[in-house]
Amino acid sequence: MNFELDIEGSLNALNKGGLILYPTDTVWGLGCDATDAEAVSKIYALKKRQDGKSMIVLLADENDILKYVTQPYPKIFDYIKGVHKPTTFIYEGGINLAVNMIQDDGTVGIRITKDPFCKQLIKRFGKPLVSTSANISGYPAPAIFMDVDIAIKSGVDYIVQHRQDDVTAASPSAIVKLNADGSLSIIRP
């Protein structure tokens, strides 16, 4: 897989506070620097989405969770290792992220990507990425690149070429909330 040009193009946009349209381990996503509130605001505006509606933080490595949450709960690492479907975990005590990525109650949704392109991009960028479905709020998430609305495509700074031909329909991630007592609640199976 040679996605070096896409990595370079994405990094160029991300480093300037721009938005990218990229394939994730789930659906096609909109991404930006998850530590840059201004960039995050651009995604909310492009999606025509209310600022309070949460978006996911994508990380390359589970050890990075410790940089972005105050309460990682050690048993979650065992659970992450056993999960095969892409799963987003809602953690208490989000830190070191853009203020508009952390919910009013202090929670943040984080997913460890297994996608090789996303993993390499995040590692090279050195910061977490926003991952939210590449759709206008209220419309279906795009399972394949051809499903991405032209308004979304024209509203980003870089469109990744990698996997545009892939017609394998994808689904959004499962969402699991880690409760204060350490138990888990399934929000989206």
Confidence of residue 21 (pLDDT cuts 50, 70, 90): very high
Indicate whether 1 pLDDT > 70.
no
Confidence of residue 189 (pLDDT cuts 50, 70, 90): confident
Whole-structure pTM value: 0.93
What's the pLDDT at 85?
A: 86
CB atoms within 10 A of CB 96: 14
Domain hosting 129: range is: 4-188
Residues 122-144 have pLDDT tens digits of: 999 999 999 999 999 999 999 89
What percent of the chain stands above pLDDT 90? 68
Residues 35-55 have pLDDT tens digits of: 999 999 999 999 998 776 789
What's the pLDDT at 96?
A: 97
Report CA-CA distances (Å) from 129 to 110, 150, 179: 10, 22, 24
| Higher local confidence (pLDDT), 130 or 84 | 130
Q: Which of 16, 29, 11 is nearest to 135 (CA)?
A: 29
Chain mean position to CA 174: 13
**Spatial separation of the C-alpha atoms in residues 35 and 135, rounded to whole Å:** 22
What is Dmax (Cα atoms) for the chain?
Answer: 45
Q: Are 31 and 20 in contact (CB under 8 A)?
A: yes
Domain count for the chain: 1
CATH label of the domain that carries residue 151: 3.90.870.10
What's the pLDDT at 2?
A: 74
Buried b / exposed e over 34-43, threshold 16 CB at 10 Å, is: bbbeebbebb
- The per-residue pLDDT of the chain, averaged, comes to 91
